[in-house]
Every structure is written in structure tokens, then in C-alpha cells.
Amino acid sequence: MGFGGGDSGEEVRPLMNVVPFIDIMLVLLVVFMLAVPALQKSSADQNPADKSSEVSDTGAAGAASHEICVSRGSVTLDGVRTDRESLLRSLSDPALPMSDTITLSAAPGTPWSEVLPVMGIITESGRSKAAFSVCGEGGD
């Protein structure tokens, strides 16, 4: 009957319990199923809007995009060179809706000492949000 201490010729093979492994895989699957749509939505929010869908400053539905570029001591707003006082007036103008996207760009190598005052001007104009980018050397 095999109750004795003798060797019956059968090997005892240990079995691996895979139930905890399967549980962990199912939890990870659920986490990724929830995380991927959220990540896709946040990355879609970061992509700039299609230029063809933008509306001009005259107003209707949708927001326009305006770029401020700091390069070699000069500041441009939408490609037009301006000084800091004129920039503040332009950004504070009620004709420029607060819903418009403001992108602050700097040419490569531009020191922060030139960019930070422009950030202050954006804040002074009452805007609380701005996007950041890199512009060409000529303020393009």
C-alpha cells in the first residue's frame, strides 16, 4: 500500500503554484486598461490644435493661438517685433480673448534673464496659462 518507508520507485516532483502569478497579471491588465485611455487623452490635450480649425481674433467659436518669441534681446508677437510695453498692451487688450492660446517661445541659447520678464508680462496681462516652445533665431 505504500505506507512504509521503502522506496517505491516514484519520484516526488514539486509543483509550482501559478495562481498568484495569474492574479498579478489580471490586476496589471486592469490597471493598463484604465491607464492607456487616460494617457491617450492627456497626450491629445497637449497636441496643438489644427491651424485650419482656428478662428481669427474677430471672435466666433474656438480660440486662436498667438506666439511670443524671445530671440537675441528682441520680442515678437505673432512674427511682428514689439517692445515690452506694447506686448503688455496687446495681451491686456479685451479684443484678445482670454481663451486664446499664448505660446511663449525662445530661440536656442536665449538666457532665462530675457525670458523671465516676458513671463512676467504674460502674468501681468491677467493670463494664467501659457504654452512653451522653441522658436527660430529670427523669431519665426
Return d(Cα 74, Cα 56) in angstroms, integer.
25
Question: What residue spans define the domains of the chain?
Answer: 64-134
pLDDT of residue 44: 64
Residue 87: its pLDDT value, please?
83
**60, three cell numbers:** 466666433
DSSP lists the bridge partners of residue 68 as: 77, 104
Grid cell of 126 as nine digits? 491677467
The beta-carbon contacts of 97-101 under 8 Å, at least 24 apart in sequence, are 97/59, 97/63, 97/64, 98/126, 98/127, 99/63, 100/57, 100/63, 100/64, 100/65, 100/66, 101/48, 101/49, 101/63, 101/64, 101/65, 101/66, 101/131
To the question of pTM greater than 0.85 for the whole model, the response is no
Tell me the mean pLDDT per 10 residues along the chain, length 140.
60 86 95 87 60 42 75 83 84 78 84 84 82 68
Task: Please say whether the beta carbons of 82 and 88 come within 8 A.
Answer: no
CATH architecture of 64-134: 2-Layer Sandwich (3.30)
Residue 55's pLDDT is: 41
Please tell me the predicted confidence (pLDDT) of residue 11: 81
